[in-house]
Amino acid sequence: MEKTPVPRVGVAVYILKGNSVLLGRRLSSSGDSSHATFALPGGHLEFGESFDECGVREVKEETGLDIEKTEFLTVTNNPFVNDPKPSHYVVIFMRAVLSDPLQQPQNLEPSKCGGWDWYDWDDLPSPLFWPLEKMIKSGFNPFPV
Ligand code: 8DG
Ligand code: MG
Ligand code: MG
């Protein structure tokens, strides 16, 4: 029998450096709505993990970067029900800063990401992953006021 699909929890991290954030181009199956769009580092919350632990772990696994001062920002509900492989994520957005401001990101999961780079908040690349596009268009800003 087919398993009933359920929403999963994602954690995505805005790493802030000056006026910039770290984004990478997602590589997924073509037809998937996120393919080739720019997204934040992040991934799935594991059993027993805190949001902070998940953010720190995913950033380290995907970019090699060490982050600190992780803070919860907001949560969004993201159904990807029209994708070829439908999914649904409740996504926790965090912000953080680099432990060592001189540390450079590495592309540690080249099958999932085309590479990481810093992008000025006022000049973000396109196309953004739609959950990001949507939250930014609604006026969301991850920088401390
Ligand atoms: P894992 O095996 O390392 O745990 O997972 P992953 O391969 O790193 O997962 P992911 O796709 O990067 O993140 C999980 C889901 O979170 C993703 O499929 C959809 C949702 N998500 C958003 N916005 C963002 C975002 O900006 N970045 C990331 N990484 N995930 C996001 O809705
Ligand atoms: Mg990951
Ligand atoms: Mg990821």
pLDDT in tens, 2-23: 689 999 999 999 999 999 999 9
Read off the pLDDT of each residue in 29-33 and give the average, rounded to a whole number: 79
Residues within 5 Å of ion ligand 2 by Cβ? 43, 58
92 in any annotated domain: yes
Pick the more confident residue, 31 or 96.
Answer: 96
Residues with CB under 6 A from ligand 1: 10, 12, 39-44, 58, 78, 89, 91, 112, 129, 131-132
113 in any annotated domain: no
16 in any annotated domain: yes
DSSP H helical ranges for the chain: 51-63, 130-137
55 in any annotated domain: yes
The per-residue pLDDT for range 100-117, each reduced to its tens digit, is: 999 999 999 999 999 999
Query: What are the DSSP E strand ranges found in 49-112?
Result: 67-80, 87-98
Residue 4 makes CB contacts below 8 A (sequence gap 6+) with none
- Look at the chain and report how many structural domains it folds into: 1
Going from the Cα of 59 to the center of ligand 2, the distance in angstroms, rounded, reads: 8
Give the CATH number, domain containing residue 30: 3.90.79.10
Quick one: which atom of ligand 1 is closest to the CA of 58? 3
1 — pLDDT class (breaks 50, 70, 90): low
Torsion sign, CA atoms 117, 118, 123, 124: positive
My answer on whether omega of the bond before 127 falls inside 30° of 0, hence cis, is yes
Computed over every residue of the chain, the mean pLDDT equals 96
Read off the pLDDT of each residue in 44-52 and give the average, rounded to a whole number: 98
Going from the Cα of 41 to the center of ligand 1, the distance in angstroms, rounded, reads: 7
Quick one: which atom of ligand 1 is closest to the CA of 80? 19
pTM check: above 0.80: yes
29 — pLDDT class (breaks 50, 70, 90): confident
The per-residue pLDDT for range 59-90, each reduced to its tens digit, is: 999 999 999 999 999 999 999 999 988 999 99
Residues within 5 Å of ion ligand 3 by Cβ? 43
106 in any annotated domain: no
Q: For residue 15, give its domain range.
A: 1-101
CA distance 13 to 39: 10
